[in-house]
Amino acid sequence: MADEEKDAILCELFTCLSMLGDLRKQYDQLVSEGYIQLSKARYNLGVSAVGSLQYPNNMAPVVGLDVSDDGQLHIAPMTEDCENNDELDVRKRRGSSKKEKTENRLGKADPLCWFSGLPPQSLRMSQQHFKKSIEIAVELANTQAKIIELQRKLSNKEIEVIASMSEQ
């Protein structure tokens, strides 16, 4: 019985290791292609048109990570509740200006609009590659967590076998 359980755990472990290798290849390809497309966009728009000077001061994340009860990571869109914690904000005595309202709107807009009113296709492709790489990174983390869990199960089974052999 113990050998069958160990075999099942080993088969699942090797399947996860194979999947981990495939996910790493996909991740590497997506990030590489994202950077290539980003460099094409910089070439088309000019070096100074795509860079850190175009980021707004109040950048806000578009997505975040959510951890489920079983420890799995999931991509979750950021909501205003997550971005703005009203308890920590300092109350302003004067109304906010039009400039501040515009900056708040820009921080939540599509990041492509920070660089150009009509971004080139290469910049759009770069964004798509990086978005997909985030999804793959989450899958990688979940697969690595599963591998660690399987390794613990396997070592516990081996300890049980050694303990049962020493009792005999």
* pLDDT tens per residue across all 168 residues of the chain: 578 888 999 999 999 999 999 999 999 999 999 999 999 999 988 888 887 777 778 878 888 899 988 889 999 887 765 444 433 344 444 555 554 544 445 445 688 888 778 888 999 999 999 999 999 999 999 999 999 999 999 888 888 777 777 776
pLDDT of residue 28: 98
Q: What pLDDT score does 92 carry? A: 44
What single string gives the DSSP state of each residue in the chain?
A: -HHHHHHHHHHHHHHHHHHHHHHHHHHHHHHHHHHHHHHHHHHHH-GGGSSGGGS-TT---SEEEEE-TTS-EEEEE--HHHH--TTTSPPPSSPPPHHHHHHHHHHHS-GGGGT-SS--HHHHHHHHHHHHHHHHHHHHHHHHHHHHHHHHHHHHHHHHHHHHHHH-
pLDDT at 103 (0 to 100): 47
pLDDT of amino acid 80:
60
